[in-house]
Amino acid sequence: MSPLPDSSLAVPTAADEVETSLYEVRQRIYPRAVSGWFARWRVALVVATQLVFYGVPWLTWNDRQAVLFDLVSRKFYIFGLVLWPQDFIFLTALLIISAYSLFLFTTIAGRLWCGYACPQTVYTEMFMWIERRIEGDRVRRMRLDQSPLDARKLGLKSLKHGVWIALALWTGFTFVGYFTPIKLLAGEVATWTLGPWEMFWILFYAFATYGNAGWMREQVCKYMCPYARFQSVMFDPDTLVITYDAQRGEPRGSRGKSADPKTLGLGDCVDCNICVQVCPTGIDIRRGLQYECIGCAACIDGCNQVMARMGYPRGLIRYSTENAVSGKYRDAEIRRHVLRPRVLVYSALLGIVVIAFFGGLLLRSPLKVDVLRDRGALMRDAPGGQIENVYRLQFINADEIAHRYLVTVEGLPGLRVVTAQPLAVPPATTRAFPVSVRVDPAGLAAGSHVIQFHISDIDRPEVQAHEKSRFFVR
Partner 1 sequence: MGKRLMWILWPSFLVGGAAEAVFFTLIDPQELYLLGEPVHWSPTAVYSVGFFLFWMIAAASSAFTCFLQRSATDVNQQG
The site for partner 1 (CB under 8 A) is made up of 23-24, 71-72, 74, 85, 88, 91, 195, 197-198, 200-201, 223-224, 226
Q: Which amino acid is at 341?
A: P
Complex with partner 1: residue 142 or 189, whichever CB lies closer: 189
The CB-of-64 to partner 1 minimum distance in angstroms stands at 18
Complex with partner 1: residue 71 or 401, whichever CB lies closer: 71
Complex with partner 1: residue 79 or 200, whichever CB lies closer: 200
The residues that bridge with 323 in the sheet, in sequence order, are none
The CB-of-96 to partner 1 minimum distance in angstroms stands at 14
d(CA 114, CA 42): 11
d(CA 403, CA 425): 6
The CB-of-197 to partner 1 minimum distance in angstroms stands at 5
The CB-of-85 to partner 1 minimum distance in angstroms stands at 6
How far from 63 is each of 58, 77, 189, 366, 401, CA to CA, in Å? 12, 12, 22, 19, 12
Spatial strand order of the sheet with 447-457 comes to 423-425, 403-410, 447-457, 464-473
Complex with partner 1: residue 68 or 439, whichever CB lies closer: 68
d(CA 46, CA 395): 44
* Burial of 21 from C-beta contacts in 10 A (0-12 / 13-18 / 19+): exposed
The CB-of-216 to partner 1 minimum distance in angstroms stands at 9
State the DSSP string of 187-221.
HHHHTT---HHHHHHHHHHHHHHIIIIIIITHHII
Complex with partner 1: residue 284 or 370, whichever CB lies closer: 370
DSSP-derived 3-state class of residue 287: helix
DSSP-derived 3-state class of residue 456: strand
C-beta of residue 212 within 8 angstroms of C-beta of residue 120: yes
Complex with partner 1: residue 122 or 194, whichever CB lies closer: 194
Nearest to 392 by CA among 404, 382, 377: 377
d(CA 355, CA 347): 12
The CB-of-88 to partner 1 minimum distance in angstroms stands at 5
For residue 448, report the phi and psi dihedrals to the nearest 5 degrees.
-100, 140
Complex with partner 1: residue 144 or 225, whichever CB lies closer: 225
Complex with partner 1: residue 198 or 268, whichever CB lies closer: 198
The CA dihedral of 387, 390, 396, 400, to the nearest 10 degrees, is 70
* Burial of 57 from C-beta contacts in 10 A (0-12 / 13-18 / 19+): buried
The CB-of-220 to partner 1 minimum distance in angstroms stands at 9
The CB-of-91 to partner 1 minimum distance in angstroms stands at 7
Complex with partner 1: residue 21 or 258, whichever CB lies closer: 21
The CB-of-179 to partner 1 minimum distance in angstroms stands at 8
Complex with partner 1: residue 187 or 447, whichever CB lies closer: 187
The CB-of-172 to partner 1 minimum distance in angstroms stands at 14
